[in-house]
Chains A and B, each alone.
Chain A
Amino acid sequence: MQIAFAILVALTLASAIAAVSLRNLVHCALCLALAFAGLAALYLQLGAQFVGFAQILVYVGAVAILVVFAILLTRGGESAPQPVISRSWVAGIAVAVLVFGVLTKAMLSSSLAHREPPPKPGPAVREIGNQLMTRYVLPLEAVGLLLTAATIGASIIAMQDAGRKQPDPQSVASKPANARLRRDAEEFETPTG
């Protein structure tokens, strides 16, 4: 138990740090995916099966892919020649450390930090389903709406505006992946690296 936890934490934190510190953006993205996977594993260890799998499905399966695509579309694929750390990095680090310190202080000073877990709760998936459909049905609807809006908005924002580049209407179809793919084809005619 402890060992597994230690391994998972080490993996997660290491890959998270790598994700924000590596030079090559694609590596960053991959490490990010790894960190997400580690987090999912932590969820599983905490007995939140559904959330864990959802985490993998959404983050590793979708968000990481999105990030990768964005990186390639913004030609971040090759390692940046210029320094990747912004000029005011000292201040940034300082702020981060400050926040960390404050958080730890808050945590350690809180009473329930040393609480032990109660006996494992029963399988929660069916329960989650019921709750989603009954108590949380309104938030669920809202989230559905949000996701739809986000899909449409994202595809419209990222779409090559039709007038300029893609005269044919069907390639500006209701899907970024389509436009996306074509754009890759355009942007990566020349071998990169």
Chain B
Amino acid sequence: MIPLYYYLMVSAVLFSVGLAGALTRRNAILVLIGVELMLNAANLNFIAFWRYSPNPEAITGMMFVIFSIAIAAAEAAVGLALIIAIYRHCKTTNLERMDSLKG
């Protein structure tokens, strides 16, 4: 049977991959993708902990994932809409050129 920390490792890798993507890509959408990946890594953690918890009848972990999925969906929708709006405003999705808020 698979021990828990396999899943934890997987989610850690997934998380850092997402983080790396969010940190290194120029395109805003790619950054969003990275964020989504990080979220899913967290979800995987929850599910894994639920499954491996001493009493899986308490389905708190799953609940948490369900809610986080819903919220992630909302977040994706709004985020993408924002990106589209930004694109329409300054004709780029390149994060390095969206620095009009610099001091």
Contact = CB atoms under 8 A, between A and B. Distances in A.
- Give chain A's interface secondary structure class: helix
A104 to B, nearest CB: 6
A91 B19 CA distance: 12
Interface string A46-75: 111011001100110011001101110111
Interface in A107-130: 107-108, 112-118, 121-122, 124, 127-128
Contact of A32 (B37, B73, B81): B37
A39 interface: yes
Contact of B24 (A46, A89, A103, A121): A89
Contact of B30 (A13, A28, A46): A28
Interface of A: 1-2, 5, 9, 12-13, 16-17, 19-21, 25, 28-29, 32, 35-36, 39, 42-43, 46-48, 50-51, 54-55, 58-59, 62-63, 66-67, 69-71, 73-76, 80, 82-87, 89, 91-93, 95-97, 99-100, 103-104, 107-108, 112-118, 121-122, 124, 127-128, 131-132, 136, 139, 143, 146-147, 149-151, 153-155, 157-158, 160, 176
Interface of B: 1-10, 12-27, 29-30, 32-34, 36-37, 40, 43-44, 47-48, 50-52, 54-57, 59, 62-63, 65-67, 69-78, 80-85, 87-88, 93-96
